[in-house]
Structure 1
Amino acid sequence: MENQTQHPNIPNKTSFFQSNTAKMIMVGFLILVLLIPLALVQDLITERSNRKQEVTDIVTQKWGKDIELMGPILKIPYKVITETEVIDEKTKQKTIQKYSYTENAYFFPDQLNHNTAINKIDNIQLGLYKPIVFKATITSDGTFGTVDISKLDLHPENILWDKASIIIKTTNLKSIKSDLRIKLNNKFLNLEAKSDDESRFDTLETNTFTYNPVEDLNFNFSISYNGSNSVQFIPIGKTTATTVDADWNSPSFIGNFATNDTTKKITTKNFHADWKIIHVNRPFPQQFKAKIPALKNYQYGVKLIETVDEYQQNERASKYGFLVIGLTFLIFFLIQTISKIHIHIFQYTMIGLALIMFYTLLISITEHSSFSIAYAIAASAVIIMLLLYSISILKNKKFPLFITASLTLLYSFIYIIIQLEDYALLVGSIGLFLILGSIMYFSRKIDWNN
């Protein structure tokens, strides 16, 4: 009887690479690879955002930068007399020699009121970019009460009352567009630029006048600026009241002092804000000798902002790129597993690149339109492209339509999150929870052992 040799079954060497596990590993690896072009897109967004900031700096350098105002301040010179003992080397006799030099005393007003009107300028543009620039008119009035020189340990006979002047410290001298003069009681004095050791502020100063220390000195002046970004004040009045009105709908109130919430009003077209600051709210006196210290830390005011500019929105959208690619690949993988339709890794790559192209389309269209319009155009283009591509590879219309509906919901969900501010995390967490639940539901009957 002829012996029959039985050959054991030889395992199929390609069976693992055709399994769901191998396909998941390859798709997962491809997702990681696609993070490289996604990172390049994010770098492009950063580059374009930096370019916008460079253009903004160029425009504001010529037009006018942030506006800061501290004043008016009453400046009164006084004599400082020193005595020096001198010994004659020959006779050894002692003599007293007196020397005198002049210093300045500075007095802040008792009452100070600032009324500011800000009007945005829409026709300033350089290339694709329109910086936030405006015209601002600041009208100030108030009163200097009787000065108390005893708090500075000064003697009345050393005060040069006939050499008094008014100074105003501000920024953006080159952007001032009005004649500069101040009304003191019933007399007008011109303000002229003076050199100052303090580099942060420029100084405007009047000619000298005779100050009467026993009567109030009322003042009134107005300055018109070309400015950008912000308007800020330093509350040097014993009582400082400030009002700002602007045709801008997204202010950011900055500095160490809060606005009056009962009178603050913000609409879709403009805003109104008030401040009232008294001397006990800030830790510096109403008078100084020799030099005024730096008081920048006590500034307050308003900054005109774009709540979320186009590059911030693009950056936020790109951060969801990993989620979009991962969920889209997962949908295709589940369809492939359920329908037994083979999708090649090259086809996954084309799908991933199409999803990456969404972000380049988004940023390029946004620079010539609004973010909402650009988002709608870019999302529609990618969804239509993937619809046509999936019809060709899946050989039917049922699954491609499901993919189209899923991508439409996903892009809509991401757009809503981008627009939200206070509730973005909450809505995003709920949405991702529902997406995870849906994936678990549709994948519950898949045999992962194949």
Structure 2
Amino acid sequence: MEQSNTPQPNRQPQTNKFFYWLKNSITARMLMVGFLIIVLLIPLSYINSLINERALRQADVVKEINEKWGNNVVVYGPILKLPYKTYSETKTYNEKTKTYFKETETHINYAYIFPESLHTDANVDSKPLKRGNFESAVFTTVMDFSGEFIPANLDAKGIKTEDIIWDKASIIIKTSNLKGIRSEMVLKMNAEEYSFQSNYNNNSNSHNRLDILESSFIKAEDLSDDHNDTFNIQIVFNGTEQIDLIPIGKTTTMKMISNWADPSFIGNYLPNDETKEISKDGFKADWKVLHINRAFSQQHLNNIPDLREFAFGTKFMVMVDEYQKSERSAKYGFLVIALTFLIFFLIQTMSKIQIHPFQYLMIGLALTMFYTLLVSISEHSNFLNAYLVAGIAVVALITLYSRSILKSNKFSVLIGTSLTALYAFIYVIIQLENYALLVGSIGLFIILAIVMFVSRKIDWSND
């Protein structure tokens, strides 16, 4: 049988056509770049988890520092504690005499009287305390309390003056930081001095409990019924993070001076704007709270109400710490990778230079390495130095790598300049607080405008 010598048509396999389309199609390159961006979200998520883990570790260390140095300071007092008598009557029936026998029983209760005026001078010496790579804001404060009590009149509460046990009266101060007290406390009332001792608070399961300090019994003659009784108390605290005062005076004023440059005024009442001063060397602030500004009275029977919701004071902030800044930087990781890939995509499309998907992947991994470098270096230096070192390392690496794959100094300089500008833009956003959203939106709008301008001449029809 003769074999036919007729040439067969040369049919290109379908797989070759598919790979040709992947290699030369703009759409295919766009899909590939998009897929790689999604894949790179996986290491970015692990980096975010790493940052959160290190931040939790920092919180544990800060908590340990605070427990050893002293907790946040809350002062609730001084409060005049007045014991008084109440009476109850019981009737007992006598079977023999067929009569009722009346018996009167005496009970001891307490009235708690807030001062007519309360003035506090707080001089706060603050500093950052470090443990390894972590730090917390700690302080030593000297707090001078002065004011006066008016003669106690409990007639409106149904208590007669003769039922008050004047020689068993005392002064109470409640605080959150009993172990942080660093000096003996002495109450000076009129001309006499009285010492304090701690009074066990059985509410030990409460995380935010206030411990009680109670003075020795006040002499009855010091609780005059014809003029106001003045007092002075000084307390020295070691504390952390914040100081709060509950405004129990009918008129409450506080003056605070500190060397801490980043205060945050917290609570129900803000300091007077006219006298407030904040500088790099510290701050001064004055508060004034009147009885009409808060919803509680000056006299309470049987128990001291929890009035911490009315507290005001200052938080000594460690301004956006390194982990918070690193976390905010990592949130822009998707944007950095997407814009960098977009630059390479535009260069590849406009210059017809082939860039392999593996090369895109290497560039993406280099970009994610920026955040691990940032976190690790910031634990041993400040955030600016860590950002500069990590940024310079990654920009240099990608610039040199792009020089080898694009074979062009012009394109590699363009990429290096673009990355430098992008990292500088993100650093500015991180440092801003009130204007971060505004500046970020304007920056993204400008980037979009540049991309639209550069890509306007691309012929999308030959795909």
TM-score (norm 1): 0.96
Unaligned runs of 5+ in 1: none
1:91 Cα offset (Å)? 4.2
Aligned to 2:247: 235
Aligned to 2:104: 98
Is 1:266 matched with 2:272?
no
Is 1:180 matched with 2:185?
yes
1:252 Cα offset (Å)? 1.0
Mapping 1:102-141, distance limit 5 Å: 102-122=108-128, 124-141=129-146
Aligned to 2:213: 204
Aligned to 2:162: 157
Mapping 1:20-419, distance limit 5 Å: 20-122=26-128, 124-197=129-202, 200-208=209-217, 209-210=219-220, 211-419=223-431
Tell me how far apart the structure 1 counterparts of residues 356 and 281 of structure 2 sit (CA, whole Å). 54
Tell me how far apart the structure 2 counterparts of residues 380 and 149 of structure 1 sit (CA, whole Å). 74
Structure 1 range deviating more: 224-233 or 89-98: 89-98
Aligned to 1:434: 446
Tell me how far apart the structure 2 counterparts of residues 89 and 343 of structure 1 sit (CA, whole Å). 112
SS at match of 1:225: strand
SS at match of 1:179: coil
Tell me how far apart the structure 2 counterparts of residues 14 and 218 of structure 1 sit (CA, whole Å). 93
Aligned partners of 2:136 and 2:318 also within 8 Å: no
Tell me how far apart the structure 2 counterparts of residues 337 and 348 of structure 1 sit (CA, whole Å). 14
Is 1:17 matched with 2:22?
yes
Tell me how far apart the structure 1 counterparts of residues 147 and 244 of structure 2 sit (CA, whole Å). 18
1:93 Cα offset (Å)? 1.5
Tell me how far apart the structure 2 counterparts of residues 137 and 94 of structure 1 sit (CA, whole Å). 62
Aligned partners of 2:185 and 2:234 also within 8 Å: yes
Tell me how far apart the structure 2 counterparts of residues 262 and 151 of structure 1 sit (CA, whole Å). 39
Structure 1 range deviating more: 85-94 or 412-421: 85-94
* Aligned residue type for 2:271: T
Aligned partners of 1:175 and 1:227 also within 8 Å: yes
SS at match of 2:280: coil
Is 1:421 matched with 2:433?
yes
Unaligned runs of 5+ in 2: 1-5
Tell me how far apart the structure 2 counterparts of residues 331 and 226 of structure 1 sit (CA, whole Å). 55
Going from structure 1 to structure 2, the CA distance change for 1:197 and 1:236 (only over 3 Å counts) comes to farther
Tell me how far apart the structure 1 counterparts of residues 233 and 450 of structure 2 sit (CA, whole Å). 67
SS at match of 1:326: helix
Aligned to 2:3: none
* Aligned residue type for 1:34: L
Tell me how far apart the structure 2 counterparts of residues 94 and 161 of structure 1 sit (CA, whole Å). 35
Aligned partners of 1:67 and 1:227 also within 8 Å: yes
